[in-house]
Chain A
Amino acid sequence: MNAAEGSGDVFEIKQLRRLIELMKKHDLSEVDLEQGDARVRIRRGGAAAQPFVLPAQPAAGVPAEPAAPAAKPPADSQHTVITSPMVGTFYRASGPEASPFVKVGDRIDPESTVCIIEAMKVFNEIPAGVAGQVVAVLVENGAAVEFGQPLVKVDPGA
């Protein structure tokens, strides 16, 4: 990393801080800048950044995976989205007659079960991983879900 030479250098701490402030102010999620041989890429928020280091050594910089389920930072900045930690079939309740685990408006905490995902005949209760108020349930009962698919939107501030 080059020693700071003044306002032109992308790696200068003041510049990086300004960049981050600008990103927050304008709600940008990713900035990628190149200057000669130097390159800086900043991605805001939550789930561990994909390391895209050039030139890359595949052994280095493998991101720490978030523990399931991933509470990812949101496309809209107020809400958190609970995503699926597995592949399977989504169920809102523990049985056809039972009431749903959560509905819009419910207050939940990290240990609250938000849904069941059935995989290979095993019914897995999925914990919220976040506290807050349920804003939306994004999947239909009985629908197939893939890894990382958004399941429930939560307002963590509420």
Chain B
Amino acid sequence: MLKRILVANRGEIALRVIRACRELGIETVAICSEADRDADYLRLADEAICVGPARASESYLRIDRVISAAEIGNVQAIHPGYGFLSENAHFAEVCRSCDIGFIGPTPEAMAQLGDKNSARKLAREAEVPCVPGSDGLLSTEAEAVETAKRIGFPVLLKATAGGGGKGMRVAANDLALKAAFQQAAAEAEAAFGNPGIYLERYVERPRHVEVQIIGDTHGNVVHLWERDCSTQRRHQKLIEESPSPRLAEETRRAMCEAAVRLAKTAGYHSAGTVEFIVDPDGNFYFIEVNSRIQVEHPVTEMVTGIDLVKAQIRVASGEPLPFSQDDILARGHAIECRINAEDPAQGFRPCPGRIERMTAPGGFGVRFDSHVSAGSTVPPYYDSLIGKLIVHQPTRREAIETMQRALKELRVEGVQTTVPIHLEILSNTAFHESQIDTTFVERVLLG
């Protein structure tokens, strides 16, 4: 078992990793920027090292400083959390060449799956259904139009180096496609440094269903069932749940097995998520792989009873997975609401500032993962997530009721939060009846 780990992240995920390490008897070295120096969770680490000024590009994203911190902190491995350097294959490579463990997949697996186009190729190889689309990157406008005519409009132009819902454009006909093509390439170059774009059929009103997988370094890969993350706004997830409501059992099994097949084909180990979209007819298609622990991992932890972060650390220590596929059972229903310091009444404007008062909810079936409390400052330099509220109950209906109760108990004064929008979604009939797709929030609630 690893003995000392650097936590190369901040906020709630840093706290999450520190907690797992404390239970495993592993020493932690946390990093922070100058803006996070007074963060409360740092006192739970054995050491905290400042790696730069507030701006992420000068601190959390500075590979040289993170590695230096790992060296002076005398750690054996680095946990990258999510975001920041967690899906940076170059960083994983630097760790390897400096003989520092990286708690995640190999740089090769990460690079192969991180490139959307090569991930699709791998998926086809693993016989995982993909959205009908171009066979690789598009070099000309003519090629785009020809592909679109073959697979049928509307189509979605996607950046191969994109992610997190960015770098996508819909075109409903060939005129729109011609106009969009050059722009999409230019945007991709500007945003991701890679102008490569490809094309997929645009699935209208899809559901976003993702499968959690984990692999070890002995060739074992298992899935931990799925999460439904269709409740989104502008491709940012608001609410996640498991199991995915209204998903046929055979579809569920087929998706989970496909995810494991893909991970094995890619030589993947550690935690990862295979994302799919499900069309209104119940067909599923592979979209991309997130080769990191995700924000919404607690949803899976609640239904399976498995600590995913500890599992990642065990895998990174060289241990085989302590469970087989047959051991992984899903019980009950879990829902997570992402609590962001944003004002839903003002276009979800981020609301950094000082939290004057705060009361966390509790009770049966309630889990609140948050790094902030009264007196905490929410800095303006990073994402606005201040906590994740997760509930677990035997049925979906009860989970919704508990979440409503818990959201009303949660009190945050000093900054605006997204609690009101969550309450609105959870009282919506379509949500109760699981008539959700990724356009739901924007169509129904925000009009």
Residues of A within 8 A of B (CB): 50-51, 54-58, 62-63, 65, 86-89, 119-120, 144-149
Q: Is the interface of A mostly helix, strand, loop or mixed?
A: loop
Provide the residues of chain B in CB contact with A120, threshold 8 Å. Answer: 64, 67-68, 71, 98
Which of B50, B71, B381 makes the CB contact (< 8 A) with A147? Answer: B50
Establish whether residues A146 and B380, one from each chain, have CB atoms under 8 Å apart when the complex forms. no
B214 contacts the other chain (CB 8 A): no
Query: Could you show 9 A-B contacts with beta carbons less than 8 Å apart?
Result: A51-B380, A56-B351, A63-B54, A65-B53, A89-B72, A146-B49, A146-B50, A147-B51, A148-B34
> Which residue on chain B has the smallest CB distance to residue A87?
B68
Q: Is the interface of B mostly helix, strand, loop or mixed?
A: mixed
Which of B34, B65, B350, B352 makes the CB contact (< 8 A) with A87? Answer: B65
Provide the residues of chain A in CB contact with B52, threshold 8 Å. Answer: 147
Instruction: Please give 6 more A-B residue pairs, beta carbons under 8 A apart, in addition to A57-B350, A144-B72, A147-B53.
Output: A56-B353, A58-B381, A87-B68, A147-B50, A147-B51, A147-B65
B58 contacts the other chain (CB 8 A): yes
In B364-403, the 8 Å CB interface with A consists of 380-381
Which of B35, B51, B349 makes the CB contact (< 8 A) with A146? Answer: B51
Bound-state Cα–Cα, A51 to B352, Å: 11
Provide the residues of chain A in CB contact with B64, threshold 8 Å. Answer: 86, 119-120
Residues of B within 8 A of A (CB): 34-35, 49-55, 58-59, 64-65, 67-69, 71-73, 98, 349-353, 380-381
Establish whether residues B67 and A55, one from each chain, have CB atoms under 8 Å apart when the complex forms. no
> Which residue on chain B has the smallest CB distance to residue A59?
B380
Provide the residues of chain A in CB contact with B69, threshold 8 Å. Answer: 87, 146
Once A87-B69, A147-B65 are accepted as A-B contacts, the answer to whether A65 and B55 lie under 8 Å apart by CB is yes
Establish whether residues A88 and B35, one from each chain, have CB atoms under 8 Å apart when the complex forms. no
Establish whether residues A65 and B72, one from each chain, have CB atoms under 8 Å apart when the complex forms. no
> Which residue on chain A has the smallest CB distance to residue B351?
A55
Bound-state Cα–Cα, A148 to B59, Å: 11
Most chain A beta-carbon neighbours within 10 Å: one of B55, B64, B98: B64
Bound-state Cα–Cα, A146 to B52, Å: 8
Establish whether residues B58 and A88, one from each chain, have CB atoms under 8 Å apart when the complex forms. no
Most chain A beta-carbon neighbours within 10 Å: one of B55, B68, B98: B68
Closest 5 CB pairs of A and B: A144-B72, A87-B68, A119-B68, A146-B50, A58-B380
Establish whether residues B72 and A88, one from each chain, have CB atoms under 8 Å apart when the complex forms. yes
Provide the residues of chain A in CB contact with B58, threshold 8 Å. Answer: 65
Most chain B beta-carbon neighbours within 10 Å: one of A54, A55, A89: A55
Establish whether residues B352 and A58, one from each chain, have CB atoms under 8 Å apart when the complex forms. yes
- Least Cβ–Cβ distance between B101 and chain A, in angstroms: 17
Establish whether residues A87 and B72, one from each chain, have CB atoms under 8 Å apart when the complex forms. yes
Bound-state Cα–Cα, A62 to B98, Å: 33
Provide the residues of chain A in CB contact with B65, threshold 8 Å. Answer: 86-87, 119, 147
Provide the residues of chain A in CB contact with B50, threshold 8 Å. Answer: 87, 146-149
- Least Cβ–Cβ distance between B353 and chain A, in angstroms: 6
Provide the residues of chain B in CB contact with A149, threshold 8 Å. Answer: 50
Provide the residues of chain B in CB contact with A145, threshold 8 Å. Answer: 72
Once A62-B55, A120-B98, A146-B51 are accepted as A-B contacts, the answer to whether A88 and B380 lie under 8 Å apart by CB is no
Provide the residues of chain B in CB contact with A55, threshold 8 Å. Answer: 349, 351, 353
Bound-state Cα–Cα, A50 to B52, Å: 14
Provide the residues of chain A in CB contact with B349, threshold 8 Å. Answer: 55, 57
